[in-house]
Structure 1
């Protein structure tokens, strides 16, 4: 890429990395994996920047790449697991985890990845149905049905303790 294209790429991502990392964290629930998802997304976009920098809705395109990278990661099997000689040292979290956040995260992890992605994009990232459909490459009707099925499974998983995902949104923050 030439210098002006690199500058445009850097300008685009300099203000969006925090939002991308937040979306990635909401999708996977792990800070390190969120960083990996964002890094892979940024790399994929950089490789195609000359072509995709001209798309109409660049944010939607980048969100699509991020969500599809997350879904691809979920589809990969055990061969992605790395075996270590000893357990890695994990730093203690800066703040103790909030119980509700843990419960909601665990409940989200028990539903299928596509429904999980729909619920996170719709309710935690506040994307409209049409944009979620565009990101996932499906129809708005599919997004609506996946939302209904995902909410139903989430409610069953939580024992009916969450009336709306708005409660889950507050618990995840």
Structure 2
């Protein structure tokens, strides 16, 4: 039995084409949510695009073992987060130097402006706190679910959440006093 797959390719059930078709369908349906997560982790839309693509490349060989969408979402989010941490450890990242002249920021209609309200404050958090706060309050995950996605203990999630929220409170107060 065969079926038409992506771009007219023939898919034979039980083959890699079948797996690839399921993966393609998943990515098409969940890409906006996964990209939002990558943006929350990376802090900028361009890095988020690269991060999502690199993570999806890593997920594809393991796709057959993921049966439910909830498990797939958690696995992909964890992969995105771990890929970002891995990138931050790369020597070429440590050697980056700030420039005196910053390029003009690119704005996109489908994302909040970095300077706008709370989102700008969240983007200013360190990566681990930003990921924890985004998972807990943007994605609505529990402490245990967040720990599973980040691959850390629940105590680390609680600590990062507490520190992240404290930093957001301080920054929000500073903004309110300055304005």
User: Which TM-score applies when normalising by structure 2?
Assistant: 0.70
State the partner residue of 2:116.
100
Q: CA deviation at 1:92?
A: 4.8
Matches within 5 A, 1:1-173: 2-50=16-64, 52-54=65-67, 57-79=71-93, 92-93=106-107, 97=113, 99-101=115-117, 104-105=119-120, 107-159=121-173
Give the number of aligned pairs: 155
8 Å Cα contact 1:20-1:38 kept in structure 2: yes
Give the gaps of 5 or more residues in structure 1: 163-173
Q: CA deviation at 1:121?
A: 0.9
Ranked by relative contact order (alpha carbons within 8 Å, sequence separation 6 or more), the top structure is 1
**Secondary structure at 2:173 match in 1:** coil
**Secondary structure at 1:16 match in 2:** helix
8 Å Cα contact 2:40-2:123 kept in structure 1: no
Give the gaps of 5 or more residues in structure 2: 1-14
**Secondary structure at 2:107 match in 1:** coil
Q: Which has the larger radius of gyration?
A: 2
User: Which TM-score applies when normalising by structure 1?
Assistant: 0.72
8 Å Cα contact 2:35-2:52 kept in structure 1: yes
Give the superposed CA RMSD.
3.2
Q: For the structure 1 residues 139 and 94, does the alpha-carbon distance in structure 2 shift closer, same or farther, using more than 3 Å as the test? A: closer
Instruction: List, as ranges, runs of 4+ consecutive aligned residues in structure 1 with deviation greater than 6 Å.
Output: 80-83
CA distance in 2, matches of 1:93, 1:112: 22
8 Å Cα contact 1:74-1:113 kept in structure 2: no
Q: CA deviation at 1:77?
A: 4.1
